[in-house]
């Protein structure tokens, strides 16, 4: 099943208005006759009208989950055509909302509209469809939410958009690719989630009352307090330096501690795209650990935001949310000294990219 939400992949240059305009999936299909040579039976569900991914919203994530739920037992896999700007947010959110997923949900798009001669849309769509349809030993090759872009398949909740100009718009700094497309598609089985043993559960409740506090040199008490005291905010994503470090000024620690005592959850993630939070490793993070700041380990910003929204939307106590934030639910984080962590380290050590 192809779900067409919009984005650059579904744009074409309008000679009359001299600007890009969204097109229907029918027009996309006209530019992609190769679809029929794949030999797949596919059905298309378009958003009406298609949206720019900058307008993606938690309500739309719920809509996507409902579409997948309604058609889950009729299709081998799902391909979501999506704008690249917020693709990592959508992929992360869907990973948490689709529990015990046994079929591929592959998000893809393009950097150039499908109507342009050098577009990357064709390869991205065709390979995403092949990945979504592939089965190995009777099971889906990749039973998880992922992003396919520029010959690489990444776990959705491990992915970030890092480049607005290159075709390789996405990377996954803390986790290896799940597959790489060359002459053949090579699947990296050790890094792919195993098929679930329980039936799928579709979660449709999210709580977007999350604030973000990004630390920078010279940040003022007024700025910190304004964010920590945002009305109705239940959790704060704290973006710190390096491995989780932050100012040790007394006023800063007091502000955080006060917010925590009011029942707010503060989740610490690093501003770096690669690496992990290690609370207590340096003196500049010891106080955060002492006052109850929660470690986000190596989660991406996109995963931290959407996982927090997801957990806040469940019927859970604050203590349960804090516990689950520090556990991998869908492979979104790596705990220190875990077997998975050693496998990831081994991959990058022997990779040409290391």
User: What is residue 5's three-state secondary structure?
Assistant: coil
Q: Where are the beta strands (DSSP E) in 182-298?
A: 185-187, 201-202, 210-214, 235-240, 265-270, 294-295
User: What is residue 332's three-state secondary structure?
Assistant: coil
Which stretch of DSSP H or E encloses residue 37?
helix 34-37
Asked if residue 122 lies in contact with residue 29, where contact means CB atoms within 8 angstroms, the answer is no
- Helices 250-261, 283-291: axis angle to 10 degrees equals 20
Residue 176's contacts (CB-CB under 8 Å, 6 or more residues apart) are 188, 191, 344, 347, 348, 351
Q: Which one from 8, 119, 159, 270 is the annotated catalytic residue? A: 8
Residue 318 annotated in active site: no
Tokens at residue 122, please? 């064709």
How far apart CA 253 and CA 316 sit, in angstroms, is 27
Query: Which residues are 133's β-sheet partners?
Result: none
Q: Which residues are catalytic?
A: 8
């Amino acid at each position: 099943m192809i779900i067409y939400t919009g984005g650059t992949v579904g744009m074409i240059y309008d000679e009359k208005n001299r600007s890009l305009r969204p097109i229907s999936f029918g027009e996309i299909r006209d530019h992609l006759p190769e679809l029929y040579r794949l030999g797949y039976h596919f059905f298309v569900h378009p958003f009406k009208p298609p949206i720019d991914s900058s307008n993606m919203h938690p309500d739309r994530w719920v809509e996507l989950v409902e579409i997948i739920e309604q058609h889950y037992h009729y299709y081998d896999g799902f391909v979501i055509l999506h704008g690249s700007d917020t693709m990592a947010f959508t992929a992360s959110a869907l990973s948490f909302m689709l529990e015990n997923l046994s079929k591929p949900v592959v998000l893809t798009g393009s950097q150039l509209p499908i109507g342009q001669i050098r577009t990357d849309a064709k390869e991205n769509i065709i390979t995403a469809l092949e990945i979504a349809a592939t089965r190995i030993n009777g099971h889906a090759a990749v039973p998880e939410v992922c992003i396919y872009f520029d010959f690489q398949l990444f776990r959705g909740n491990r992915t970030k958009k890092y480049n607005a100009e290159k075709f390789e718009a996405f990377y996954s700094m803390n986790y290896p690719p799940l597959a790489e497309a060359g002459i053949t598609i090579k699947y990296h089985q050790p890094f792919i989630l195993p098929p679930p043993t329980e039936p799928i559960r579709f979660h449709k409740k999210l709580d977007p009352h999350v604030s973000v506090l990004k630390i920078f040199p010279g940040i003022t008490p007024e700025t910190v307090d304004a964010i920590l005291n945002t009305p109705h905010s239940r959790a704060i994503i704290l973006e710190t330096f390096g491995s989780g470090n932050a100012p040790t000024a007394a006023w800063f620690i007091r502000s955080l501690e006060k917010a925590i005592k009011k029942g707010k959850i503060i989740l610490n993630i690093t501003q770096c795209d690669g690496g992990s939070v290690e609370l207590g490793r340096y003196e500049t993070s010891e106080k955060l650990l002492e006052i109850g700041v929660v470690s986000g380990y190596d989660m991406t910003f996109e995963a931290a935001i959407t996982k927090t929204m997801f957990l806040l939307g469940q019927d859970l106590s604050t203590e349960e949310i804090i516990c689950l934030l520090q556990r991998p639910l869908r492979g979104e984080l790596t705990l220190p000294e875990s077997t998975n962590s050693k496998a990831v380290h081994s991959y990058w050590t022997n990779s040409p990219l290391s």
